[in-house]
Structure 1
C-alpha cells in the first residue's frame, strides 16, 4: 500500500480539461491500486496560502522565539498549512500534480505549494559543497493541460521538474494534454 498525494492546482470549472484528465487518470489508478491511501489537496478550494507579509512576519517572530499563540489567527493558519503541506509531501510515496498552463507558467497556488515543499532542512540541505536533496524514492506524475503545443519546453513544466529534481525526486512522468486551442482564432469583440 502506497500513500498518494493528489495536488490539484486548478479552480473548479465545468470546462476544465485538467480536471477531466486528472479524474480519468485517478479512476484508472484506483482500479489498479485499490489499497493505496489517497489524500487530495485542492489548492484553490482550500485557498492555500502564498508567501506574503503575514507569513514572512510570522516566520520572523517564530525564529525570534515568540510563542506560536502570539501570532495572529491568519499567521497561525498560514504557518500550519505550510508546515502541514511539507509533512504531507514527505509522508507520501507518490504524488500526482494536476495543473493547467497559465500564460506559459504554473498557477500561483501551485507555486505556493512548491514553496511549502521546498524547505531547507526537510527536503534539501545546504552543505559546504552546495545544496543536496533530502527527498528520494518518490514518484511523481505531472498532468498539465495547455491550449498550445509545447512538448515539455514550456516554463511551467521545466520549473516543476527542476524544483522536484533539486529536492531529490528523480522519477517524474508527464501527461501532456496540449494543443486544444492551437488553431483556435479568437476575434476580439468590439
Structure 2
C-alpha cells in the first residue's frame, strides 16, 4: 500500500476553480486505479500550517539546546515536525494551486518551508546542497488565467524546490488561458485532463 499526499492550495471550490475540479477528477480516478492506497489531504487554507517566523525559529533553536519553550511555541513546533514527517512518509505528492500575481499563495510557501529541513530532506556537502528525498513522485497542477507554458515564477518555484530536495519524477500540468480565451475554457480543461490521465498510468 502506497500513500498519496495531496496539498490543496486553493481557497475556492471546484465550481469556481478549474484546478480544484481537476483535483476532484484526479482523486476519483486515482482511487479507482489504486483502491488499496492511502490518500491524505493537507488544505493549506484550512489546516494549521505554521509560518516560518521569529517565534518558530526561536523554538527550533531552543529545542536543539534542550531549553524549555512556552506551550504555544511547542504546539507550533510539533505541528511543523508533523508536516515534515507526513511528507517524508508519502510515496507521491500532488500540489494544486492557482497562479496569483505570478506567484503561489503564501500559505503554500509556508507548507513548502515545512518540507525543506536541513538534515532531513537536504544536506550541505563540499560542492553545495544535496537532496535527500529519493524515489518519490510529484504532480503539480496549476491554473493560470494566461498562458505561460511553465515559465512563470510560480511553476518554476515548485519545480525547483522539489528538484532541490532530490525529486527526479516531476510532472507539471497547467490549466491555462481560460481568462484570455473564455470561449475555449472547457476545451482547455479537457486538454489538461488528458495529460493528467496519461500521467496517472504510471503515477
TM-score w.r.t. length of structure 2: 0.84
1:175 paired to 2:173: yes
Tell me which residue corresponds to 1:161. 159
Q: Aligned to 1:89, what secondary structure does the other structure show?
A: helix
The runs of 5 or more residues in structure 2 that have no matched partner are 183-203
Structure whose residues are more often helix by fraction: 2
Tell me which residue corresponds to 2:46. 45
Q: Could you tell me how far 1:71 is from its partner in structure 2? A: 2.1
- Aligned Cα root-mean-square deviation (Å): 1.4
State the alpha-carbon separation in 1 of the partners of residues 18 and 74 from structure 2.
Answer: 35
Tell me which residue corresponds to 1:187. none
Alignment of 1:3-82 (within 5 A): 3-13=3-13, 14-67=15-68, 70-73=69-72, 75-82=73-80
Q: Could you tell me how far 1:12 is from its partner in structure 2? A: 3.4
Tell me which residue corresponds to 2:115. 117
Tell me which residue corresponds to 1:85. 83
Q: Number of aligned pairs?
A: 181
Q: Which runs of 4+ in 1 moved over 3 A?
A: none
Q: Aligned to 2:75, what secondary structure does the other structure show?
A: helix
Q: Could you tell me how far 1:155 is from its partner in structure 2? A: 0.5
1:101-146 C-alpha deviation (Å, 9 max, x unpaired):
1111111111111111011100111112221111100001101111
The runs of 5 or more residues in structure 1 that have no matched partner are 185-190
State the alpha-carbon separation in 2 of the partners of residues 45 and 182 from structure 1.
Answer: 30
1:132 paired to 2:159: no
Q: Could you tell me how far 1:183 is from its partner in structure 2? A: 4.4
Q: Could you tell me how far 1:96 is from its partner in structure 2? A: 0.6
State the alpha-carbon separation in 1 of the partners of residues 180 and 12 from structure 2.
Answer: 23
